[in-house]
């Protein structure tokens, strides 16, 4: 009997500590909703951001988003997931030649041979 009562006491103390930790973290995240007329610091910064501050905020959000994606990749594929994926290399020489060949002003003009220019064309008689 003493063994079960000790287990229950331990479980209760563990649950109480867990509840205290949860309420403390919730209190830190959610400030108490008082009837104060002073707006929160977050509300003030959201309404009065200069363009420089707005860019800085967006940059930090982008960095955090990229870090989150890298973490997810690392969980899937291992430590190499932290590295950014390599972009596919394009064969620039092939691309340049293809584009040059498709442009109408770049196509080579067909020349008539000089000996055919002076001679009249022969017609076949039927």
* pLDDT score of 78 more than 60: yes
Q: What is the mean pLDDT of residues 6-19?
A: 83
Give the residue with greater pLDDT, 111 vs 41.
Answer: 111
pTM of the model: 0.33
- Quote the pLDDT of residue 26: 66
CB distance 87 to 80 below 8 Å: no
For residue 14, give the DSSP letter.
Answer: H
Within 13 Å, how many C-alpha atoms sit on residue 63's CB side?
6
Q: How far is 115 from 105, CA to CA, in rounded Å?
A: 27
């Amino acid at each position: 009997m003493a063994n079960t009562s000790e287990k229950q006491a331990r479980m209760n103390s563990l649950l109480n500590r867990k509840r205290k930790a949860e309420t403390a973290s919730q209190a830190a995240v959610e400030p108490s909703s008082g009837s104060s007329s002073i707006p929160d610091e977050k509300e003030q910064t959201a309404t009065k951001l200069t363009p420089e501050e707005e860019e800085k905020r967006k940059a930090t959000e982008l960095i955090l988003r990229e870090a989150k994606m890298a973490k997810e990749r690392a969980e899937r594929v291992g430590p190499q997931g932290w590295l950014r994926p390599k972009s596919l290399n394009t064969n620039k020489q092939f691309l340049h030649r293809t584009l040059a060949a498709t442009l109408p002003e770049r196509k080579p003009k067909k020349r008539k041979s000089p000996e055919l220019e002076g001679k009249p064309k022969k017609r076949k008689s039927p």
